[in-house]
Amino acid sequence: MYSKDQASQLKQAFWTAFGQYISPQLSAEGLRVNWVNYKTGIKHLYFRMHADNRIARIAIEMAHPDAGIQELFFEQFKEYKNILHSALGEEWDWQLHATDDYGKTISRIYKEISPVNVFNNNDWPQLISFFKPRIIALDEFWSDAKYGFDALK
């Protein structure tokens, strides 16, 4: 078991290493991007990567406080489902109105792998191999699809 500080430092070390590894990769639009803290340009809409001692997950998260607006985002993504899955090269799971780790209602489209452990350096190559192609594919998808969400800004 790790103390809270040790766990935080190990997670930070992983995300720093991942950020350094992927930083030379330009966005689909040819721009430099902070892949670890990806900005969609739309409030309450996030591309999130998560890793802990059991799973790794990459997700499109809709966290608007209004459940109705959250559902509109989700429905809009459904319109792009085939394009999204084609860009990703795989199908992801879709979850409307789930509860996140903080008890907040969110909706998400995500992919998970397990067992992996961010606290085990030996799992880092697997984690990087999981996250890198998917965040790049999300960026490629988003470079075209984001205009379809302008009305929801």
Longest dimension (CA), the chain: 47
Show the tokens assigned to 4: 């809270």
pTM: 0.93
63/71 Cα distance (integer angstroms): 10
pLDDT value of position 70: 95
pLDDT value of position 101: 84
3-class SS at 51? Answer: strand
CA 102 from centre of chain: 17
Identify the segments of the chain with pLDDT beneath 70.
Answer: 1
- What are phi and psi for residue 22, nearest 5 degrees? -95, -10
Asked if residues 84 and 76 have their Cβ atoms less than 8 Å apart, the reply is no
pLDDT value of position 93: 98
Provide the residue ranges of all domains of the chain, joining segments of one domain with +: 4-152
pLDDT value of position 152: 76
pLDDT value of position 3: 85
pLDDT value of position 150: 84
pLDDT value of position 149: 87
pLDDT value of position 105: 95
